[in-house]
Structure 1
Amino acid sequence: MNVAVLVLDSVTKLPREADGAVVVGGSHGAVYAAHLSAKAGVRAAIHHDAGIGLDEAGVSGLGYAESLGMAMVALATESCRIGDGRDQYERGLVSRVNAPAALCGVTIGMTCRDAVELLKAAHWPHRPPAPKGEDRHLVGDIVCVDSASLLLPEDKDRVVATGSHAALNSGHATAPARPRLIFFNDAGPGIDDGGILGLSVLEEAGVAGVAVAARSARIGDGRSTLQDGTISAFNHTAYRLGARAGRSALALARAVAEKAGRKEREEHREWPSST
C-alpha cells in the first residue's frame, strides 16, 4: 500500500497532503492537537507525550482519537524533543498507544520508525470530528489561548497564557506577536530540555517567556496554564518582571497585567485644562 508519511514540527496547520497520510507531528498529544490531526483527515497520528503531566493531559488526545476510530500514538518525552518532528521520527520511542494503533501492532517501547510502517495499515477514513468549541478566553485582562497559533495582532503588549509547549518552533512562531509576557507548558521538559528551548528565542526578541511545569497544569489548556500552573523555567526578561521557580503563573500574570494597566491609565489620563 502506497501511504504517504509526513514529518512535521507542528500539526497546527497541516497541508492537504495530510489527508490519508501517517503524520509524525511535533505537537503534544492532548485533545486540541488530536482534533487538528483528525480534522485534517490523517490516517494515523504520532504526537509527543509532553511529559504526560497533570491529568495525563499530554496523552488525552489518544482517547479522543479512538472515539473517532483514528489510530494515534504518543512518543516519550525522555526519547525525543517536542516540536521537532525529525527528531521524533529518528529517536522517538512509543510511550502510549490507543486501540486502533494497537490493532496495527504498535506497542509501547517501539521506535517511531517502526510504528510509522505499521500505521500505514490503519483503518481509514475515520469519522470526522465535531466542531470544537472556543479556544480563546479572557480572564480579567489576561488572554488565554489553547494554542499559541491562536495569537492575534491585538495581543501585542498583553499578558498571554497558552496551552502550547515552549519548544524552539513555539519561540520562533510567537516572538513576532510581541506579547508583554507569555506563558507555556514545559512539556516535561524532556530530553535536551526540548520543551523550553524556545524561551531563549523569545529572550533574543525581548519577549518575556515563562514555562509552567507539566505536572502542575494541563497542556493544551491555556486557562489551566494560567490558573493551575507553577513556574518551572523562564528567560531573563521574564525574571526582571518577577518570574521565579515555584511561583504561581496566576500571581505573576496578575502582577504584570495590573502594572501595565496602571501605566496605560496614567498615560491616557485627562488632565483638567488650565483656566
Structure 2
Amino acid sequence: MSPPLRVVDSITELGGQDAGCIAVSGSHGGISSARYALAARPLIAVFNDAGVGKDAAGLAALPFLQGHGIAACTVAHDSARIGEARSTLHDGIVSHCNELARALGVAPGQACRAVVERLRG
C-alpha cells in the first residue's frame, strides 16, 4: 500500500493521524516548521527553502528532522510559491535534502511531482 499524500499550505495542518504520509507543504523549511513535522512523523516532509536565508534558516528543518529519523527536503523558492502547497507539488524543484531523503532516492534537481509519484509507487 502506498503512503498517503497530504498536500497542506501550512505544515501546521498535519497531526498524529498523518504519521507515515508524504507531506507536501507550502511552509518554509525553518525550525518552527520542523517541530510541526516532527509531531506528525511523516515518511517525508517537503518544504520551501524560502531563499535559504541568513545562516541557512530556511533549511534548518533538514538536519533537525534527520536527527529525529524523518526524511525531509526543500524545493527552490523560485520554483514554487511559498505558502502554496499545490505549487510545491506541481511546480517545485528539489533544492536540498537530508540523508534520509537521499536514501529514499530524492536528490536536488528532481521535480517534486516526480518524487511523490515514485514514493507512492
Normalising by the residue count of structure 2, what TM-score does the alignment of the two structures yield? 0.93
1:144 aligns with 2:7: yes
List per-residue Cα deviations over 1:212-248 (Å, max 9, x = no partner).
0000000101111111100001100000001111101
1:171 aligns with 2:27: no
Runs of 5+ unmatched residues, structure 1 = 1-140, 259-275
Return the alpha-carbon distance in structure 1 between the equivalents of residues 15 and 40 of structure 2: 7
Instruction: Identify the structure with bigger relative contact order (alpha carbons < 8 Å, sequence gap 6+).
Output: 2
Deviation at 1:143, TM superposition (A): 1.2
List per-residue Cα deviations over 1:21-77 (Å, max 9, x = no partner).
xxxxxxxxxxxxxxxxxxxxxxxxxxxxxxxxxxxxxxxxxxxxxxxxxxxxxxxxx
Do the aligned residues in 2 keep the contact of 1:232 with 1:246 (CA within 8 Å)?
A: yes
Q: Tell me the SS of whatever aligns to 2:17.
A: helix
Do the aligned residues in 2 keep the contact of 1:209 with 1:234 (CA within 8 Å)?
A: yes
Return the alpha-carbon distance in structure 1 between the equivalents of residues 32 and 23 of structure 2: 17
Q: Calculate percent identity across the aligned residue pairs.
A: 37
1:253 aligns with 2:116: yes
1:222 aligns with 2:92: no
Do the aligned residues in 2 keep the contact of 1:146 with 1:162 (CA within 8 Å)?
A: yes
Deviation at 1:176, TM superposition (A): 2.1
Query: Which residue of structure 2 lines up, in the alignment, with residue 193 of structure 1?
Result: 56
Alignment of 1:46-65 (within 5 A): none
Return the alpha-carbon distance in structure 1 between the equivalents of residues 30 and 50 of structure 2: 9
Amino acid at match of 1:172: R
Q: Tell me the SS of whatever aligns to 2:50.
A: coil
Alignment of 1:39-188 (within 5 A): 141-188=4-51
User: Alpha carbon RMSD of aligned pairs, Å?
Assistant: 1.0
Deviation at 1:198, TM superposition (A): 1.2
Return the alpha-carbon distance in structure 2 between the equivalents of residues 143 and 197 of structure 1: 21
Q: Tell me the SS of whatever aligns to 2:66.
A: helix
Q: Tell me the SS of whatever aligns to 1:171.
A: helix
Amino acid at match of 2:44: L
Query: Which residue of structure 2 lines up, in the alignment, with residue 102 of structure 1?
Result: none
Q: Tell me the SS of whatever aligns to 1:161.
A: strand
Do the aligned residues in 1 keep the contact of 2:45 with 2:71 (CA within 8 Å)?
A: yes
List per-residue Cα deviations over 1:131-175 (Å, max 9, x = no partner).
xxxxxxxxxx42100000000222110111001001111112211
Return the index of the structure with the highest Cα Rg. 1
Deviation at 1:203, TM superposition (A): 0.4
Return the alpha-carbon distance in structure 1 between the equivalents of residues 117 and 17 of structure 2: 19
Runs of 4+ in 1 over 6 A off after TM superposition: none
Query: Which residue of structure 2 lines up, in the alignment, with residue 241 of structure 1?
Result: 104
Return the alpha-carbon distance in structure 1 between the equivalents of residues 64 and 16 of structure 2: 19
Normalising by the residue count of structure 1, what TM-score does the alignment of the two structures yield? 0.42
